Amino acid sequence: MKFSVIITTFNRAGTIPMCLDSLINQNFPKSDYEIIIINNNSSDNTEEVIEQYIQDYPETDIRYYFIPKPGQVYARQIGILASRNEVLSFTDDDGILSPDWLKEIKNVFELNEEVVGVAGKILIKWDEEPPLWIREYENFLGKLNYGDEIKYQKGLYMNAGNLSIKKNVLIEVGGFNPEMIGDWLMGDGETGLWLRLKKKNYLIGWAPKAIMEHYQIAKKNATIDDIKRRFMNNGICIPYNIYAIDKLGYRALIWNMFLAMKQAAKWKINKLKATLKGDEKNEKYAIFRTAFYTAQINYTKKIIFDKKFRTALTKGDWIIKNSNTNINKEAA
């Protein structure tokens, strides 16, 4: 079993070396994996950093692509289509992989021939000690832990920071859904992929020793604004699926907006009550829940009133197909 490790990156010249160092030093045969890096139009010196790695580590198969079109989904598309191996392993440009990462993923695949994907454990690695309250929100930063034993389950959720899947299956279900495309938050990314795999009852494995540490900056990520943003991102997944995936129409979309308005009002009241009581824990949670529902309202309005946005949501140019073979501008 051979692997294609796919990393999309944007303006992470300072952190991607941690990721690449951990991949270069895998306890795994060099002949059995490749590293594909897709630069999604970074404005820093990401390209220079990656080219230096290619030069310094010729024994490791590192390939580099540049894609100016904004949107992680398009960068992943290039990585998927450029890959040469049976299994595609996705990780983040600020992820640090354990030395046995690929070895453990392979083991979980080989223990059950029916498994099509493998999720790995994700831990949060802070650059400095964060405020205590953030610990219960680390799952919004990618933390994933189903325990310390190998398991297999249909419909098991996989986080794209540590996700491995058979290439033929990923292409069959159409790849990832879009997330951020330019300034627009379009859809639900790996959640959309997970839902399609779940609907098909595909078996997913859990590799507890295939660990990815997700590097986070406390002053940036351990903040109310950042967690609020992540709740908003989760919120838009609901109207996105109603309109773009399930195609339930405007009636269902507007009904969901009405329900979201009621919930947003409820959580605003809860926030006020918590503030008056000096209950900081519940005040924060009420802020986040309000953001979750408010995002649905604003996203629905954008669908209804912005024709360009509606068109972008449904054009489906991010869907992976075997016929998509136009891979170019390799810089390695």
Give pLDDT, residue 332: 41
| Banded model confidence at residue 331, pLDDT cuts 50, 70, 90 | very low
Task: Give mean pLDDT, residues 207-234.
Answer: 96
**What average pLDDT does range 251-271 have in this prediction?**
98
pLDDT > 60? residue 327: no
SS3 103: helix
Supply the DSSP symbol for 132.
Answer: G
Is residue 154 within 8 A of residue 119, CB to CB? The reply is no
Give domain 3-221's CATH superfamily: Spore Coat Polysaccharide Biosynthesis Protein SpsA; Chain A (3.90.550.10)
Beta strands in 12-77 (DSSP E): 33-39, 61-66
Q: Compute the mean pLDDT over every residue in the chain, rounded to the nearest whole number.
A: 92
Residue listed under structure tokens 């083991």: 107
The least confident of 166-170, 253-257, 307-311 is 307-311
Kindly state the average pLDDT of the residues 20-38: 98
pLDDT the model gives residue 323:
46
Task: Tell me how far apart the alpha carbons of residues 234 and 285 are, in angstroms, rounded to a whole number.
Answer: 15
Tell me what pLDDT residue 318 has: 76
Alpha-carbon separation of residue 255 from 18, 259, 282, 312 (angstroms):
46, 6, 28, 23
Give pLDDT tens digits for 31-75: 999 999 999 999 999 999 999 999 999 999 999 999 998 888 889
Q: How many whole angstroms separate alpha carbon 185 and alpha carbon 71?
A: 10
Question: What is residue 141's predicted lDDT score, i.e. its pLDDT?
Answer: 95
Q: Distance from CA of residue 169 to its chain's centroid?
A: 18
**Could you give the percent of the chain with pLDDT greater than 90?**
82
Q: What is the DSSP string of 189-233?
A: HHHHHHHHHHHTT-EEEEEEEEEEEEEE-HHHHSSHHHHHHHHHH
The pLDDT assigned to 325 comes to 43
Residue 329 binned pLDDT confidence (cut-offs 50, 70, 90): very low
Interval 103-151: pLDDT, tens: 999 999 999 999 999 999 999 999 999 999 999 999 999 999 999 999 9
Pair of tokens at residue 321: 């197909």
Check residue 184 and give its pLDDT.
Answer: 61
In contact, 180 and 69? CB cutoff 8 Å: no
Is 2:33 a contact under the CB 8 Å cutoff? Answer: yes
